[in-house]
Amino acid sequence: MGFKMKVLLVTGGAGFIGSNFIKYFLETQKDFTVVNYDKLTYAGNLDNLREVENNPRYVFVKGDICDTDKVSWVLNNFKPDYIINFAAESHVDRSIDEPLVFGRTNVIGTLNLLQCAHSFWQKNNCENKRFLQVSTDEVYGSIENDTDYFTESSDLLPSSPYSATKAGADLLVRAFSITYGMPAIITRCCNNYGPYQHKEKFIPKCISHALSGKPIPIYGDGLSIREWIHVSDHCAAITKALFYGTPGEIYNIGSGEEISNIDMARMILGILGKPQDAVIKVSERPGHDRRYALNSSKANSELKWSCNYKLSDGIAKTVLWYKENQSWWDN
């Protein structure tokens, strides 16, 4: 009797975190085939996955998580044991201009994926299956002081259309877990950085502007604080949650390393040997949260997970990657 590969369906796997995750997972889990289902919007880029595109354990299918027929076809054709949903519109500024686009993908898309997965697994034995929803610390809203932290039981108080749609998706995942017994897990991570991140995002924008000799735009006073994690540490945490997390549970994933936006810009300018004052203040973004900070002790203890990267080392390595791969972000 032959050895059967397990199958992981990844939605949104051509984006920043999804593509890093697929490469990490194929490298560390040799008994899995990974099916990448992605719509390839502006943030999805198959160039991110060139090094695995010929891997016999990797399959790409172009499709939208809102497309019931296509999602059902993928489920019936590949019969995944596990599903991880990375597919999302995630650029906060764009959500302010186009909230309906975010509602469609992040809420309706997640609902469609849940419904299709529930129907498929109900017919084909739900035992030992897992659905993991990749979420964000932004669903908790803003911390207005320098001392508090969000736990998994903190209220959901999102400030932007983006974070509101992610909170809505999380609540749908919770509802499917409670109502239908869907074996679902939610992870909520702090801000990610690393290779292959879209140049609209804060750290790639800082690096690309500094490399191009342009001032780095900073919202408001620049004192908003973010917690940052290297994408590879996030990928490791998601893998641990997928295999060892308890269905129905939520896991915060954070590094514990916080820094203001202005200090992050200055760190990057320093690494590149640029003047520290090469920044320009721009008008505050509507609904801009002051501080995010996660208590990740549940993931540390229950999943036996912790970060490998220190922020200073990870940012230096990331700056070098963008410096050496200008053709990627120029496109």
Residue 177 has which token pair? 């877990």
| DSSP track, 124-150 | S--TT-EEEEEEEGGGG----SSS--B
Which single residue is written with the structure tokens 């908003």? 224
Using a 10 angstrom Cβ sphere, with 0-12 exposed, 13-18 middle and 19 or more buried, the burial of residue 92 is: buried
CA distances from 129 to 81, 102, 178, 185 (A): 5, 28, 16, 11
261-271 helix and 202-211 helix, angle to the nearest 10 degrees: 40
The answer to whether residues 9 and 80 touch, using CB atoms and an 8 Å cutoff, is yes
Q: Just list the catalytic residues.
A: 137-138, 162
Strand 184-189 relative to strand 250-253, pairing: parallel
